[in-house]
A and B are shown apart, each in its own frame.
Chain A
Amino acid sequence: MDAAKPQKRLKQSKKQVAKTIFLTCMLFYPLAQFLVFYVYMNFNNILMAFQGMRTDGTTYWNGLENFKLVFTGVDNRLIAVSFWNNIKMFLLTLVIGMPLNILFGYYLYKKKFGSSVIRVVYMLPNMVSGVVMTLLFMKFMEVGFPQMMKELLGIEMPNLIRNNNSAFGVQVFYTLWLGFSSSIIIYSNAMFSIDDGVIEAGKIDGTNTFQELFRIVVPLIFPTLTTYLITGVASIFTIAGSLYLFYGLNDVPQKTYMMGFYLFKIAMAGDLTAYPMGSAVSILITIVTVPLTLGTRWLLNRIDPMRDVYGDIA
């Protein structure tokens, strides 16, 4: 009996060692990646925001000069335009896109006419290079649409893509046009995971289609909507649109600028001395986005219709 105890303990410690070795091997690659490409990357970004960079890539301490430049430099108007454009783009795609996504997802969930074909068609834009989609859209807006308007209504249309006042509207439309695809599939899949018994119980209680959608389906897929909303708000200022594909690096109409594109342009223009300002801009964006995201999370937590059932969002 006494001899069996140390043997059992030895066996258990062997098991523990095997588990530790296994976990160490499994987690080494992902954690090394995280430490370098998230922790170090962000540390370097913060450091760079307080540095200046010479044309040969060497750095020097620059205090708060980069932050001052964001507000007083030659690009400050462009940064302000980009900031508001990102907010406008997010709100418009949210207000127009999300209700339609839910409605379309519900259509697929109810397996109405053509649902299986729609599921395939809606994934297709992800299968082809964005260059092709943009190219067609541009050709249509520059050639096909004006031709159509002239033939049908006799109206001479300006080039909406190149016009400074309409170019941003075109970007919003383009984002909405392509943005439906994968979200609809994800929403409908979330709906498919709802227990059939819940829907049946609702039917027995006499719920109609609208009540089923708004009182049963939407509350039950609320975690998916929450995830989408929170990550959407978190990435609000990284949206770059398809500006580069539409206009290249240097011909983007000023009123169309977006934050993501502005940061992209700083990196791609090849001027190393501008790099630190890119970091300063990104830190200021983070300072704005963090409370915004946490506030959204708090709000969604409060209005979660299933909160009493599942508890708070972790």
Chain B
Amino acid sequence: MKQRTKRKKIKEAQALFIAVGIIFLIHGLSLLLPFAWMMMTSFKGRLDYADSFLGLPARWRFENYTSIFEILKVEVIRGGQLYEYNVFNMLGNSLILATFGSFFGLLSVVLCSYCVAKYDFKLRKLLFNINIFVMVIPIVGSLANTLTVYRQLGIYNNFLLYIILPGGPFGFNFLLLYGAFKAIPNSYSEAVFIDGGGHLTVFLKIIIPIMMPTLCALYILAFIGSWNDYSASLIYLPSVPTLAYGLYLFQYDSAKYGASLPEVLAGFAICSIPSVVLFCSFQKVITKSLTVGGLKE
């Protein structure tokens, strides 16, 4: 009797996992669909795309990938003058913004969370509590106010200042890094101090190498987020178009550029390459490092 009940429970558990597996499969396929569609369509001609939504291209048009470099141009006004940005200009802007913007964004969190996690000083408890306050007490700001302040500080439409200045140390990443720094045994730093090393030596030569996988994961995620983000140019840097912003404008107004949807999607495919390559190269590190604990010290 007892064994039969046990067998029944095992069967129920198996049924649950099968059901979840099937839902996973369907949902996972639906998430893959955009990539498949983007790739397929990017090789189609105008009529070919109109004829079949999901089918294979009648003829593989690799020229869509070359023509996008000639068609895609964005005009912006800076200092009262009209400037034209081509794909390479926008690619450069994207690269600078993603590389350095992500670096400075992460730098602030790393510096603050390390000090709070590893040092005993007067502000330590206060800073930790500020982080909890920032996360838990939702002071809703308005974008209109942000724009006003950015204009006051000269950040609006200023590429360099936009990369270096905005941001802050608190939030989810603070919590994540605080936990990771806290988990590193103090014996490592004590050994460096005994050998005559200073605080900076401990930080740069011991802590950063140990934390490298987590920092890499956070940096890559920030990089990818920034690379794909069209809103930074749209809201704060209208005179500094990035590739994502250019493509965003392009897909809304493709007729103006004499482009078809397959060509637009070829542009998106090119834009996606760095993100996908980065993610595939570091996917184990990225997925493993995404851990969020509780809101307590």
Interface residues of A (CB under 8 A from B): 18-19, 22-23, 26-27, 29-31, 33-34, 36-38, 40-42, 44-45, 48, 57, 100, 103-104, 107, 110, 112-114, 117-133, 135-137, 139-140, 143-144, 147, 177, 180-182, 185-186, 189-190, 193, 208-210, 222-224, 226-228, 230-231, 233-238, 248, 263-264, 266-268, 274-276, 278-279, 281-283, 285-286, 289-290, 293-294, 297, 310-314
Contacts and interface: CB of A to CB of B under 8 A. Distances in A.
A282 B16 contact: no
B13 A266 contact: no
B210 interface: no
Interface string B3-39: 0000001101100110011011101101111110110
What are the 9 tightest A-B residue pairs by CB atom distance, in nearest-first order? A223-B294, A209-B13, A30-B169, A234-B138, A267-B143, A278-B144, A278-B142, A275-B144, A30-B112
A123 B287 contact: yes
A144 B292 CA distance: 38
Contacts of B170: 34, 38
A131 B169 contact: no
Most chain-A CB neighbours within 10 Å: which of B35, B111, B142? B142
Tell me what chain A mostly uses at the interface: helix, strand, loop, or mixed: helix
Contacts of B228: 127-130
B136 interface: yes
A263 B244 contact: no
A36 B153 contact: yes
A147 B37 CA distance: 17
A313 B142 contact: no
Interface residues of B, number: 98
B148 to A, nearest CB: 6
Interface in B275-297: 275-276, 279-280, 283, 286-288, 290-297
B54 A144 contact: yes
Given A224-B293, A314-B296, A234 B137 contact: yes
13 contacts: A22-B199, A23-B121, A34-B130, A34-B170, A112-B17, A112-B20, A120-B280, A126-B224, A127-B224, A129-B230, A224-B292, A231-B136, A313-B294
B181 interface: no
Contacts of A233: 138
B142 A22 contact: no
A266 to B, nearest CB: 5
Contact of B17 (A41, A107, A118, A275): A107
B115 interface: yes
B53 A226 contact: no
B291 A189 contact: yes
Contacts of B21: 107, 112-114
A42 B294 contact: no
Nearest to B145: A45
Interface stretch (B67-75, B76-84, B95-103, B245-253): B245-253
A189 B290 contact: yes
Contact of A33 (B38, B169, B235): B169
Given A30-B168, A143-B53, A177-B30, A41 B145 contact: yes
Nearest to B27: A180
Contacts of B24: 104, 107, 114, 118
A289 B230 CA distance: 29
Nearest to A228: B292
Contact of A121 (B32, B109, B290, B294): B32
A152 B173 CA distance: 48
Contacts of A228: 292
Contact of A136 (B34, B134, B235, B290): B34
A41 to B, nearest CB: 6
Given A107-B21, A289-B140, A44 B172 contact: no
B186 to A, nearest CB: 14
Contacts of B17: 107, 110, 112, 209
A131 B9 contact: no
Contacts of B151: 57
B34 A274 contact: no
B141 interface: yes
A311 B247 CA distance: 51
B54 to A, nearest CB: 7
Contacts of B123: 27
B72 to A, nearest CB: 14
Contacts of A224: 292-294
A266 B149 contact: no
Given A208-B13, A228-B292, 19 more contacts: A19-B121, A34-B168, A112-B20, A122-B28, A123-B287, A124-B32, A135-B251, A181-B31, A190-B291, A190-B293, A193-B291, A210-B9, A231-B136, A264-B143, A267-B235, A275-B147, A290-B138, A314-B129, A314-B296
